[in-house]
Amino acid sequence: MLSSPFVLLAIAALAYKLWQAFYISNDKNSKVSSKLKALERSHETGGALSNMVQADGAGSWPPKATHGAGWPSELLPFHEIYLEMIPLLSSSNPSLDDAVNIERRDQFRALMSKKLNERVDMARVQALVSSIEAGNWSGCSRQAYNGFYCCIGVLRHSYRWAIIPLVKVVQEERIIEFPAQLETTWRHLQRTFGVDSDSGSNTSNVLLNFNQKGERAYKINLEISELVTSTEEAFFRMFYDVEVMAYPMYQKMVAAYISYEQGKKGECLKHMEDINSQLRELLRVFYQNLVESRVAKGVWLSYCQSFQAWGAGRMINGEYVEFDGVSGSHNLCFMVIDAFLGMKSYMNDQNLGRYIPQNQRNLISTFRRNSFFDRLHGDEDKEISDQFGKIIQHLKVFRSAHRARVMPYLAQPAPERMMMTAGKSFNEPGNDDAHLKVLDNMLVSRLKDTIAMASKLLS
Ligand code: HEM
């Protein structure tokens, strides 16, 4: 009986829930010991971490965010309107008829615009967002503004798509005229966070969608099916949970930089061992959750990925510039680990500037600049070098597993749409297999870069 796959799955799910409750309820991340706070102040990497946590995170990491609660009254209509629009956004039977879809899209957008026009006092909103951009936070707490960033991000994605699962006729639109309430606010928010995409990112749409209890505020699908609800929940939670696990690891990295520079190799080794065990735990979030029983392939593409895609743009200085949607590559923790190793960035500078907030970029570049991977001295640093080898091994296993697991999710049939991942818009000609091959090549190339790091260590 106990060996029945259903019982084993139920036990695994329960164990995961208990583990999750432990991590979040203990709120490990906000309990930064005074020793670590001191470390943060005493090194450039610590300064960058502290700056990001204090400013963007409102003193905590993952960042604190509130959704509606504690917001200035002029921002509240946005929150209410998103909640009112969700039931109209997704449907259990996507139509294959363009005319039906055009009508649905127009009705959805007209209703959202009407609600925004009638209920948002733009003069007051404009005054608030302008003063925040100028550095005056007296009218709004950082956690409220973080939640507001998410709210405008998800309102824009819902306006862009209007129909979930997304459909061809809406994909074909390349320039979207957003209501002024979603355009002006977004420009201010993007400048405040230091990013310049028209679309949302993992920070705006995913990370900031969680409050400190680990609850997700702005859902995409309501009452489509139990499977859609649980898949949506499990999928997005992974990106929050990895960041919960990553914060103590970032602190250990700062401690490792400091002890290595001070020549305290024994201490550095201990920190490196801790980083390895933290990374092992962090990756379990991925291994245990990106499985069919938690993220169902049959609904993921249409109901979860759809919303986070983008594939639209605007004319900038006489040229059409297109933006991509939310991608797993926006995850801060993987970029920080790569930087700790001194590895070149997966994303190019343009994409970093579009999707990764300024303070996160600063953390990544500071970690990369201070990486001591290339400064290790042969036998003298053998044990520390072995720990780097273990980190690389973890990354290799993750990148191979990621590649193997994600491709079947992307290859699911979705007759209502053309090929488009959330992260890559694919407006170039080519069939679905060719597009999948492009994505696979990107993942293979990153895996090769990681393997090359291991050879560097041995040489
Ligand atoms: C069904 C789920 C997923 C799919 C279909 C998927 C797909 C992809 C694709 C196609 C890329 C390469 C294109 C791009 O840069 O946007 C990518 C990159 C990436 N994804 Fe995912 N992904 C999934 C889930 C995840 C999860 C849960 C994580 C981590 C928690 C993750 C982390 C990454 C990272 C870090 C990269 C950058 C490449 C690298 O560093 O190796 N992905 N993903």
* Ligand 1 geometric centre to CA of 198 (Å): 21
Distance from residue 366's CA to the centre of ligand 1 (Å): 24
Tell the residue nearest (CA) to atom 32 of ligand 1: 328
Q: How many residues does the chain have?
A: 459
Q: Is the CB of 424 under 6 A from ligand 1?
A: yes
Distance 229 CA to ligand 1 centre (A): 21
Give the atom of ligand 1 at the shortest distance from the alpha carbon of 290.
27
Task: Give the residue whose CA is nearest to atom 7 of ligand 1.
Answer: 406
Task: Report the percentage of the chain scoring pLDDT > 90.
Answer: 83
Query: In the structure encoding, which two tokens stand for residue 243, read together?
Result: 């960041």
Query: d(Cα 387, Cα 316) in Å, to the nearest integer?
Result: 47
Tell how far the Cα of 421 is from the centroid of ligand 1, in angstroms. Answer: 10
Residue 372 near ligand 1, beta carbon < 6 Å: no
CA of 331 to the centre of ligand 1 (A): 9
Residues in binding site: 402
- For residue 419, the model assigns a pLDDT of 72
Distance (Å, whole) CA 415 – CA 421: 15
Q: What is the pLDDT of residue 7?
A: 52
Nearest to 316 by CA among 196, 159, 181: 196
In this predicted structure, what is the pLDDT of residue 418? 82
Residue 235 Cα to ligand 1 middle (Å): 12
> Is any atom of ligand 1 closer than 6 Å to the C-beta of 406?
yes
Measured from the Cα of 442, ligand 1's closest atom is 12
Is the C-beta atom of 286 inside 6 A of ligand 1?
yes
Question: Which residue has the CA at smallest separation from atom 10 of ligand 1?
Answer: 439
pLDDT digits over 118-166, tens only? 999 999 999 999 999 999 999 999 999 999 999 999 999 999 999 999 9
pLDDT digits (tens, 9 = 90+) for 208-221: 999 999 999 999 99
For residue 143 and ligand 1, the question of a CB distance below 6 A is answered with no
Residue nearest to atom 9 of ligand 1 (CA): 439
Identify the residue whose C-alpha is closest to ligand 1 atom 29: 328
Any ligand 1 atom below 6 A from CB of 288: no
Q: Is residue 425 pLDDT above 80, yes or no?
A: no
Q: Ligand 1 centre and the CA of 169: distance in Å?
A: 27
Establish whether residue 152 lines the binding site of ligand 1, counting it when its CB lies within 6 angstroms of any ligand atom.
Answer: no
pLDDT for res 192: 98
Q: Using CA atoms, how far apart are residues 264 and 384, in angstroms rounded to an integer?
A: 11
pTM tops 0.85, yes or no: yes
CA of 299 to the centre of ligand 1 (A): 18
Q: Which residues, in sequence order, are CB contacts of 84 under 8 Å at separation 6+? A: 115
pLDDT of 449 above 70: yes
Mean pLDDT of all residues belonging to the chain: 91
Residue of minimum CA distance from atom 37 in ligand 1 = 329
Q: Which of 459, 441, 453, 353 is nearest to 395 (CA)?
A: 453
Tell whether ligand 1 has an atom less than 6 A from the beta carbon of residue 237: no
Of 25-34, 396-405, 417-426, 431-440, which range is least confident?
25-34
Query: pLDDT tens digits, residue range 400-412?
Result: 999 999 999 999 9
Q: Residues annotated as binding site for heme b?
A: 402
